[in-house]
Amino acid sequence: MKNRKKKELLMSEVRVRFAPSPTGYLHIGGLRTALFNYLYARHTGGKMLLRIEDTDRTRFVEGALENLLKALKWSGVEIDEGVMLDENGHVTEKGDCGPYIQSERVKAGIYDKYIDQLIEEGKAYYCFCSQERVDKVRDQMRADGLTPKYDGLCRSIPLEEAKQRVANGEEHTVRLKLPKDYDISFNDRIKGKITFNTDDQDDQVLIKRDGYPTYHFAVVVDDHLMGITHVVRGDEWISSTPKHVYLYEAFGWQAPEYIHLPTVLNKDHKKYSKRNGDGMVEDFIEEGYTPEGLINFLSLLGWSPDSEEEIFTMEELAKQFDFDRVNKTGAVFDKKKLDWVNGHYVRELSPEELAKDIKPYMIKAGLIDESYPEDKLVLLAETWQSAIDKFSDAPELAKNYYIKSDEIEYDDDAKEAISTENAKTLFAAFLNQLDQVDEIDADFAKSVMKTIQKETGIKGKDLWFPVRAAVTGSVHGPDLSNAFLIMGKDLVKDRLEYVRDNF
């Protein structure tokens, strides 16, 4: 009774899953796949599962699972069922369809009865060919202009003979026995009806020599047992889907709906690839992007809302999201667009929040240390907030407030501004004002330029450009009085004396 109720529950709701392999850091394309799964689950009132597919033990990376879960948690993509982090940051599982880690499912013997069923029904067979032979067969087919695939040599071995060879310890795999010249069709939610003929398909390995199921076998069994209703994944899996569809048919199970997402492309319109070292989520976190900014940007990577809006909260995305508005073609990862979107969220922060976020980057750049006054850091954040798109921008923008005077690189406009006769007059007047105070305070910072204007009669850009260029290294920039306060008397005085003596 309990199992029947569970099955009815699974069939009555949308159930999607993100099922990565723990082979390194989470790629940005993987995060987008997880996000689209999550948004659809929230849009429909369904469930989002996380399953770990670790049957390829040669590619397993220690610590990758924890990194993956931390990245998802940071992003705000919440897991309803499966593998997740508990409140103490430890890996745990939640749900009635576990284990949710495939290697644990192997140990539990979950796949055994299903592979036995296919073998007994003549829909799969034992293959004793060495990898060397398989490679030679494929190479020859390729040379002959044919689709490279296994030639089916072991298909004709009687089952009892094959079982005896297995019992004798002979190394083997188990392969899917595809029917000849058979059309396998499925409807993709984005791309429409897709048909493959089995003559162009390989007799896919289902169980490897090490006894582990391949992705193609385990994914079908797991998705069925976990009640997955919609398989949402990248379109690089389209060529594998007919094998999965045929396995569902072989078992007599109802296949889920398939949704293959357009590829994420780099600026050269090539795949934004993990193998090329592009786009690891960890890198975006380290660069100082906000989770809200990265998620908002990724949501628009291949999907468009039914409006001109581009800024969305996660809740707003879930309300609007549907696969009917997902593009069929690849989506270019535009870093400038990401910076623009993320900058919106940076500007929504209070100066106090931004100060806290930029502090580690300022320390790493060697511009400040842990003891740096909090009020100055808040003022720095307030000063540059409109120009910061990600937290790692802060050191480059503000470095001239901290480095030595002889380390500043003056551009042509700055050199021109600090080399005029007016400039010499202004610097002398400013230095005179500095000699009259112990330190620069808010009153001095706000009034000193007006005082110098009255004293020298110089005004407008002839007043501001030379002083700004001398103090900050540029004729352009944010509030100059804030620069005076952040830099303090000694550094401002040193800058003025340096340009006076060297230009």
322: Cβ–Cβ under 8 A, 6 or more apart, which residues? 40, 43
Q: Which residues of 432-470 are buried (b: 16+ CB within 10 A; e: fewer)?
A: ebbeeeeebeeebbeebbeebbeebebeeeebbbbbbbb
Place of tokens 């707003």: 316
| Cα gap 220→201, rounded to integer Å | 17
Note whether 325 and 306 are within 8 A (CB).
yes
Beta strand pairing status for 183-188 and 192-197?
A: antiparallel
Please identify which residue in the block is written with the tokens 């979107």. Answer: 341
70 is in an annotated binding site: no
Angle in degrees, CA 310, 313, 314, rounded to 5: 115
| Of residues 422, 423, 424, 429, the one with CA closest to residue 452 | 429
- What is the C-alpha to C-alpha distance for residues 280 and 70, in angstroms, rounded to an integer? 13
**CA–CA distance, 307 with 294 (Å, rounded to integer):** 20
Closest to 419 (Cα-Cα) out of 466, 468, 475: 466
Q: Is 364 a catalytic residue?
A: no
CA distance 345 to 388: 10
User: SS3 for 355-368, per residue?
Assistant: HHHHHHHHHHCCCC
Interacting residues of 142 by C-beta distance below 8 A, sequence separation 6+: 148
Contact by Cβ (8 Å): 53, 101: no
DSSP characters over 266-299: -TTSSB--TTTT--BHHHHHHHT--HHHHHHHHH
Q: Find the helix or strand (DSSP H, E) in which 466 lies.
A: helix 461-472
Task: Yes or no: say if 48 and 76 are a contact pair by the CB < 8 Å rule.
Answer: no
CA distances from residue 232 to 128, 258, 319, 390, 438 in whole angstroms, order as listed: 35, 6, 18, 30, 66
- Is the link from the previous residue into 99 a cis peptide, with omega within 30 of 0? yes
Ranges of beta strands (E only) in 149-234 are 173-176, 183-188, 192-197, 205-207, 230-234
Catalytic choice (94, 274, 337, 489): 274
Residue that the structure tokens 């944010």 belong to: 478
Residues within the annotated binding site? 274
Known catalytic residues are 274
Annotated binding site for ATP: 274
